[in-house]
Amino acid sequence: MYVENASAPARKPVTVPSLHVMKAEGRKIVMLTAYDASFAAQLDHAGVDIALVGDSLGMVVQGQRSTLPVTLDHMVYHTSMVARGLSATLLVTDMPFMADRNLDYVLDAGARLVGEAGAAMVKIEGAAPHILESIHALTERAIPVCAHLGLTPQSVHKFGGYRVQGREHDAAERVLSEALAVQQAGADILVLEGVPTALGERVTQALGIPVIGIGAGPHCDGQVLVIYDMLGITPGKRPKFSKDFLAGRGSVQEAIAAYAADVRSGAFPAAEHGYN
Ligand code: KIV
């Protein structure tokens, strides 16, 4: 049974400005996905900085083949549950596929995810002109935005699969210029997924906002993983960029605490988790 996290030690709530301070001070940011109140409470108790309600829930919770079938109603439902499990951890949630169909829709989606469901920030994939306009419009209305570049899973059909991005010179330059563009549009943080380690380092150094990597090497300002991947319970082959933190440990709480400690010390990700 889910019990409210009343015994959790008091911790200063993580805020959007505090993430910027963490980058400035060189303190690594720990981010992990959660899809329900019980896992959210585990993250909060372990001192994870950011809980992400990823649309990866389509794959790891719903058993879909991609994130594309996830709807705004699904995101509102899961975000509300996660919000109820958190006290100090910052809550970021995904804009689902095609939430960017027009500006009114994206603003309505932001209002529901933040106002109704309780997120503090929304994540939106890509850097096309209409996405930059959406980032600007959301942040102008005091809805913080997490941009998402590199291997953006909602573009799976365009990419022809879940492929590492930015390997060739021109593609790397494109990722870098997109990162500068989302920052310019007002994004507060950036998730950078599935790019070579050297590009992860370049983007992190070029940006003033925190860059959270997943399969982007150890030089990013923080790391994010899908929680079921880092607990080793995702069906199929574990992604190269992930690690099973539950192996050899006695509980989910210990596994999350080990992940947080390894991100903060720089022990995770190791070279073997990165791409060339
Ligand atoms: O949906 C998700 O869980 C994500 C992370 C993989 C970054 O976008």
Q: For 261-273, write each residue's pLDDT tens digit.
A: 999 999 999 999 9
Q: What is the distance of C-alpha 269 from the center of its chain?
A: 16
pLDDT digits (tens, 9 = 90+) for 153-204: 999 999 999 999 999 999 999 999 999 999 999 999 999 999 999 999 999 9
pLDDT at 235: 79
pLDDT at 9: 54
Q: Average model confidence (pLDDT) for the chain?
A: 96
Arithmetic mean of pLDDT, 72-76: 98
Please indicate whether residue 226 or residue 6 has the higher confidence score (pLDDT).
226
* Beta carbons within 8 Å of 143's beta carbon, 6+ residues apart: 110, 111, 114, 121, 122
Helix residue spans in 28-119 (DSSP H): 37-46, 57-60, 72-85, 103-111
Ligand 1 shell residues, CB under 6 Å: 33, 52, 54-56, 94, 191, 193, 214, 224, 226
| Residue reference for tokens 């997924």 | 193
Please enumerate, by residue number, every residue annotated as part of a binding site for 3-methyl-2-oxobutanoate: 55-56, 94, 123
Question: What pairs with residue 33 in β-bridges?
Answer: 52
Arithmetic mean of pLDDT, 78-85: 98
By the 10 Å C-beta count (0-12 exposed, 13-18 middle, 19+ buried), 110 is classed as buried
**Does pLDDT of 8 surpass 80?**
no
pLDDT digits (tens, 9 = 90+) for 239-267: 999 999 999 999 999 999 999 999 999 99
**Angle, vertex CA 91, rays to CA 90 and CA 96, nearest 5:** 150
pLDDT at 10: 81
In CATH, what class is 16-273?
alpha beta
**Does pLDDT of 237 surpass 90?**
no
Active-site entry in 193, 201, 254, 272: 193
Nearest-CA residue for ligand 1 atom 1 is 54
Distance (angstroms) between ligand 1 centre and the Cα of 52 equals 7
pLDDT at 199: 98
**Does pLDDT of 139 surpass 80?**
yes
pLDDT at 193: 98
Compute the distance between CA of residue 24 and CA of residue 257 in angstroms, rounded to an integer: 24
Q: Residue 254 catalytic? A: no
**Does pLDDT of 121 surpass 90?**
yes
pLDDT at 182: 98
**Does pLDDT of 123 surpass 80?**
yes
**Pocket residue to mutate for ligand 1, from 66, 151, 212, 224, most atoms within 8 A of Cβ:** 224
**Does pLDDT of 98 surpass 80?**
yes
Phi then psi dihedrals of residue 107, to 5 deg: -70, -40
Neighbouring CB atoms inside 10 A of 87's CB total 15
Q: What is the distance of C-alpha 162 from the center of its chain?
A: 17
DSSP assignments along 100-163, one per residue: GGSHHHHHHHHHIIIIIT--SEEEEE---HHHHHHHHHHHHTT--EEEEEES-GGGHHHHTSS-
Compute the distance between CA of residue 152 and CA of residue 14 in angstroms, rounded to an integer: 26
**Distance in angstroms between the alpha carbons of the first and the last residue of the chain:** 44
* Domain locations along the chain: 16-273
